[in-house]
Amino acid sequence: MPNKVFSIFSFFDLFYQSDIIKSIKIYKRRDVDKAGLIIGLILAVAGLYYIDENILLSFELNQSKWFGRYVFFATFNVLILWVLWVFYKKFGGLLKITMPVLFGIIVLFIGIKLA
């Protein structure tokens, strides 16, 4: 009897460690990681909208007519999106999911506070 129980467990263990099951687990984990990045991007873009709107309004109130403000907007927005991507690439495990989301929430709160 113990041999049959052992053989059943060893069968499940071999099935669990098969390459197909490992690839399914990795695929699902990558989707969850990407979901964290996508949610962080959506939150950050919403926050950047409010931040850019407020900064653009302050430029218009000061009647500044220089081209550098557009360069500033572009570099600021690219910097925020780059930081999200670095958080996604740098961390592993649960931090890979949560760090872009937390940074997106921070940018959104800053944007709402400025609005």
User: Is there a contact between 83 and 48 (Cβ–Cβ < 8 Å)?
Assistant: no
Task: Output 66-71 pairs: Cβ under 8 A, ≥24 positions apart.
Answer: none
**What's the domain range around 81?**
24-114
In a domain, 90, yes or no: yes
Whether 105 has a pLDDT exceeding 90, the answer reads: yes
Does residue 106 surpass a pLDDT of 90?
Answer: yes
113: left (phi over 0), alpha (psi -120 to 50) or beta: alpha
Q: Which residue would you say has higher pLDDT here, 99 or 59?
A: 99
**How many Cβ atoms sit within 10 Å of the Cβ of residue 52?**
16
Q: Mean pLDDT across the stretch 4-25?
A: 52
Mean pLDDT of the 78-95 span: 87
Q: Is residue 5 part of a domain?
A: no
56, 74 Cβ separation under 8 angstroms: no
Mean pLDDT of 6-29: 53
The answer as to whether 45 is a domain residue is: yes
Q: What is the per-residue pLDDT for 30?
A: 64
By the 8 A CB rule, do 28 and 91 touch? no
Domain presence at residue 35: yes
Find the mean pLDDT for residues 95-103: 88
8 lies in a domain? no
pLDDT of residue 93: 78
CA 88 → CA 14, 38, 73, distances in Å?
33, 10, 23
Tell me what the mean pLDDT of segment 35-54 comes to: 89
What pLDDT was estimated at residue 95?
Answer: 84
Query: How many CB atoms within 10 Å of residue 49?
Result: 14
Mean pLDDT value across residues 61-82: 79
Residue 36 confidence (pLDDT) above 80: yes
Q: Are 91 and 33 in contact (CB under 8 A)?
A: no
